[in-house]
Amino acid sequence: MGDNRSNVVRLVGRAIGDFDLIKDGDSILVAVSGGKDSYTLLDALETLRRKAPVKYGIMAVHIDTGAPGMKSDLVESYLKQHGYAYRIEHTRILQVALKNNKGKKLLCSICSRLRRGLLYSLASKLGCNKIALGHNMDDLIETLLMNIFFNGQIKSMPAVSVSDKYRVTVIRPLIYVKAQSALDYASSLEAPLIDPECPVSMRPQLTNRQKVRKIIAELEKGHPFIKDSIFASLTHINADYMLDKLLREDKLND
Ligand code: SF4
């Protein structure tokens, strides 16, 4: 295994340990979109599964959103070739999202909500108590800045969260892995990366995420460790210097 791959597997193992993401007997649905992060996540979890003292199962699930160029057959061939237990779900989620969206800007949030709902119901149908998503460190940083810039909130994505409604726990084992490392890892697997032609990705104007990504890339030229610093800020929140009354009250009540 190359240096990058061992390093990514080590970081995934660290996230699992830090946030207690996987327990003995877990059955984990791994969402495989066909993007770099999903292949990296799947392979890293499988690599750890083979040597971990904790016993857990993996079920790869790919949702074909109905977007042109989805190429789910390539994803399926990869999963079959590597001996994964898998399920391919063909849907028309994108068409439903487009219909409900009526030209507004919220297409991605409708589409993601529909996909998330389907993942939850598939998890319970397939007997999985956990869903692993491939959000990486860059995703967390971008989400944090997007929420600050456009939503007036300081929040990112949790490493672990529980849906009481669906009785399923969502985990994000790639939180310590940078996007470039995930891409290098997926390339080393020779996994078929797919890039569906969604109307959002075809738009000429930048999405808010792309705008934030551009700002970070620009700043990174002069400050190579800027991503590490933004990410570290998520673990060092000083309530005394924030204006959130609830946060301050919590602190006073401790
Ligand atoms: S880019 Fe397209 S496929 Fe992806 S979440 Fe947005 S609408 Fe859905």
Could you tell me the residue range of the domain that residue 177 belongs to? 3-202
User: Token pair 């080590």 is at which residue?
Assistant: 10
Q: Does 168 map to a domain?
A: yes
Res. 105: pLDDT tops 70: no
If one residue of 37, 94, 114, 133 were mutated to test the ligand 1 pocket, choosing by the most ligand atoms within 8 A of its CB, it would be 94
Q: How confident is the model at residue 103 (pLDDT cuts 50, 70, 90)?
A: low
Q: Does 247 map to a domain?
A: no
Q: Does 62 map to a domain?
A: yes
pLDDT of residue 104: 61
Give tens-digit pLDDT for 175-215.
Answer: 999 999 999 999 999 999 998 888 777 777 888 999 999 99
- Helix 179-189 vs helix 3-19: angle between axes, to the nearest 10 degrees? 120
Weakest mean pLDDT among 25-34, 63-72, 78-87, 212-221: 63-72
Res. 5: pLDDT tops 90: yes
Res. 6: pLDDT tops 80: yes
173 to each of 11, 12, 44, 200, how far by Cα in Å? 8, 5, 9, 27
Here the CATH number for the domain that contains residue 8 is 3.40.50.620
Quote the number of domains for the chain.
Answer: 1
Distance in Å, CA 254 to ligand 1 centroid: 42
State whether residue 94 is helix, strand or coil: helix
Q: Look up residue 178 and give its two tokens.
A: 């940078």
How far apart, in whole angstroms, are the C-alpha atoms of residue 147 and residue 210? 14
Tell me the torsion sign for CA atoms 197, 36, 233, 45. positive
Residue with CA at minimum distance from ligand 1 atom 6 = 108
Q: Give 96-104 contacts, CB < 8 A, sequence gap 24+.
A: 98/199
HSE-up of 220 (CA within 13 Å, CB side)? 12
HSE-up of 79 (CA within 13 Å, CB side)? 23
Res. 16: pLDDT tops 90: yes
Distance in Å, CA 234 to ligand 1 centroid: 26
Q: Look up residue 192 and give its two tokens.
A: 């078929």
Q: Does 244 map to a domain?
A: no
Q: Does 252 map to a domain?
A: no
Q: Does 151 map to a domain?
A: yes
Rounded to the nearest angstrom, the gap between the alpha carbon of residue 11 and the centroid of all alpha carbons in its chain is 15
pLDDT of residue 237: 93
pLDDT of residue 198: 80
Q: Does 233 map to a domain?
A: no
Percent of the chain past pLDDT 90, that is, above it, reads 79
CB 79 within 8 A of CB 62: yes
pLDDT of residue 216: 98
Q: What is the mean pLDDT of residues 45-59?
A: 96
Q: What is the mean pLDDT of residues 64-74?
A: 93
pLDDT of residue 87: 98
Q: Does 224 map to a domain?
A: no
68 to each of 94, 98, 173, 187, 198, how far by Cα in Å? 10, 13, 29, 23, 7
Q: How confident is the model at residue 133 (pLDDT cuts 50, 70, 90)?
A: very high
Residue 100 or 117, more confident: 117
Helix boundaries (H) for the chain: 3-19, 36-51, 72-81, 93-101, 107-125, 137-151, 179-189, 199-202, 208-222, 226-233, 245-253
Q: What is the mean pLDDT of residues 227-251?
A: 90
pLDDT of residue 35: 96
Query: CA nearest 9: which of 131, 231, 177?
Result: 177
Res. 109: pLDDT tops 70: yes
Residue with CA at minimum distance from ligand 1 atom 1 = 200
Residue with CA at minimum distance from ligand 1 atom 4 = 108
Q: What is the mean pLDDT of residues 107-133?
A: 94
CB 150 within 8 A of CB 141: no
70 lines ligand 1 (CB under 6 A): no
242 lines ligand 1 (CB under 6 A): no
Average pLDDT across the chain, whole number: 93
Query: CA nearest 56: which of 20, 96, 89, 80?
Result: 20
Dihedrals phi, psi of 168, to nearest 5 degrees? -135, 145
171 forms beta bridges with 132, 160
pLDDT of residue 13: 98
